[in-house]
Amino acid sequence: MKFSVIIPAHNEEACISKALESIKQQSFTDYEVIVVCDACLDQTAEIARSYGAKVIRIYAHSSGAARNTGLDEAQGEWVLFCDADDWYLHEYVFEQLNEKLGDEDALFFSLIWKGMGYGKIRSPKGTIFPHVANKCWRRSSIGETRFPYQRDVVAEDSVFFDRMMAKNLKIVEWDMPLYYYNWLRPGSKSLMLGRNPESSKNYWSNH
């Protein structure tokens, strides 16, 4: 199997269909979708199953724990992380990735960032955006590396990114937008935890 797409989810019935539909429409079909339903009390799991996703239920209240659970179950050669409220931009994303991937450990691509437009891989000052959703990781290169699993941590993907970058992996950067980052949508976990909508904009302009 080529790709494992891991989606952490907590009560995402209002938005996960768009993420799953963007995967279902892919022209390249050698993939699996793993939805880790973390303390869900709504219809998220049922919706995911209707799209053919493998659903795993946990009760951690932690996106990091959910992603770790997905990694433990993944069978694909390559791992993609998709948030439940985001989506892939078109039906040829996986096909493009399949054609582009070679002997690297990770492929970083650009995205469309809600409220900020075209999101390149690096900031104007050269910092790589640490969000994991615009990155394709070789599963064998991830190995035992995992996300922090503390409850209600917002930036667990940045910790995982730093842990991966410390390995001195072979990385290819591809300035091709493949993903829509639905930044701070109404009802998002980041907003509920009091994240300042300007924080990433300020960080990105200063690094």
* Structural domain boundaries enclosing 23: 3-206
**Residue entry with tokens 């667990």:** 156
- Helix ranges restricted to H, the chain: 16-24, 44-50, 63-73, 93-100, 139-142, 156-165, 189-192, 199-206
Could you tell me the CATH number of the domain that includes residue 140? 3.90.550.10
**Closest C-alpha among 46, 45, 83 to residue 67:** 83
Q: What would the pLDDT profile of 96-151 be if each residue is shown by its tens digit?
A: 999 999 999 999 999 999 888 899 999 888 999 999 999 999 999 999 999 998 76
**Closest C-alpha among 122, 55, 114 to residue 86:** 114
- The yes-or-no verdict on residue 11 having pLDDT over 70 is yes
Mean pLDDT of 157-180: 96
Q: What would the pLDDT profile of 185-205 be if each residue is shown by its tens digit?
A: 555 454 444 455 556 556 556
Give how far Cα 29 sits from Cα of 35, 58, 140, 162, 169, Å: 17, 27, 21, 31, 27
**Residue entry with tokens 């302009």:** 205
pLDDT of residue 123: 86
Q: Give percent of the chain above pLDDT 90.
A: 80
Tokens of 39: 């303390």
Average pLDDT, the chain: 90
**What pTM value is reported for the model?**
0.91
Structurally, how many domains does the chain consist of?
1
pLDDT of residue 21: 98
pLDDT of residue 116: 82
